[in-house]
Amino acid sequence: MRGIKGFIPSSLIDWPGKLCSVVFLGGCGFRCPACHNSRLVLEPASLPDYPLDQVLSNLRARRGWIDGITVTGGEPTARKELPDLLRTLRKTGTRIKLDSNGSNPSMLKELIGRRLIDAVYMDVKAPLNMKEYSAVAGVPIDIRIIKRSIGILKRSDLEVVFRTTAVPGLVEEPQIREIRDALGPERPFVLQFFRNSSTLDPEFSKVEEFPQGRIENMRAEFESATRRPEPLANAG
Ligand code: SF4
């Protein structure tokens, strides 16, 4: 399959509580100004494809040692080949976690219905209205699509975690409170925090990061369950 742009054999931070491998897929329909994966988003074709055979042989060789694989991006559901990739990964007997920005509810539904994934971590980027969501995602967003993905995930029997990246000036305490309240308590909610290195919009590299004390306060006030080390705001 084309489109695999990176592979990490072992990670302790991408699936909380698990040792997992990570596959990165290129492409994404969003243009979040604070994104850290700009090359993967803006010019995936400039990155070499990572051979699927090598991913598979690595997974087979370490069966029993790793707990699963995280498929991330970019935005994995932007790739129509994703179901085929997951089917192939499944054959290695591995558990699969998907990172998603919720932009493709139809594909999420298909993947859940076909039992191709075990967990989804969905980024909920802003309060659920078109104006704020579009500002954080960097493109016009039909908020009904995001709400549909949230509903599909909430009704699923998968491990589901919603996560929001706090971004100075865009997503601060009032917005996080609104997002968390809209999502409700049924599923864990975790935060990530803006970092001003290599942002998609170069202007954001001038934005000051949140001080550690404020980060701790936000975590204490808003997060529920499933905390883990998280060095950077991630894609999804
Ligand atoms: S942060 Fe995620 S959703 Fe936003 S542009 Fe980057 S990869 Fe896409």
The whole-number pLDDT of residue 226 equals: 56
101 lines ligand 1 (CB under 6 A): yes
φ/ψ of 57, rounded to 5, equals: -65, -35
What are the structural domain ranges in the chain?
Answer: 4-222
Helix (H), strand (E) at residue 7: strand 4-11
Closest protein CA for atom 6 of ligand 1: 35
The whole-number pLDDT of residue 63 equals: 87
24 lines ligand 1 (CB under 6 A): no
Best mutation site among 22, 24, 31, 32 for ligand 1 pocket (most ligand atoms within 8 Å of CB): 32
CA distance 216 to 77: 32
Dihedral angle sign, alpha carbons of residues 97, 100, 105, 110: negative
The whole-number pLDDT of residue 223 equals: 96
152 lines ligand 1 (CB under 6 A): no
The whole-number pLDDT of residue 231 equals: 43
CA distance 136 to 37: 15
The whole-number pLDDT of residue 233 equals: 45
35 lines ligand 1 (CB under 6 A): yes
Render pLDDT for 181-203 as a digit per residue (tens, 0 to 9).
999 999 999 999 999 998 999 99
Dihedral angle sign, alpha carbons of residues 169, 173, 176, 181: negative
Residues lower than pLDDT 70 in the chain: 1, 225-236
CA distance 66 to 113: 25
4-222: which CATH topology? TIM Barrel (3.20.20)
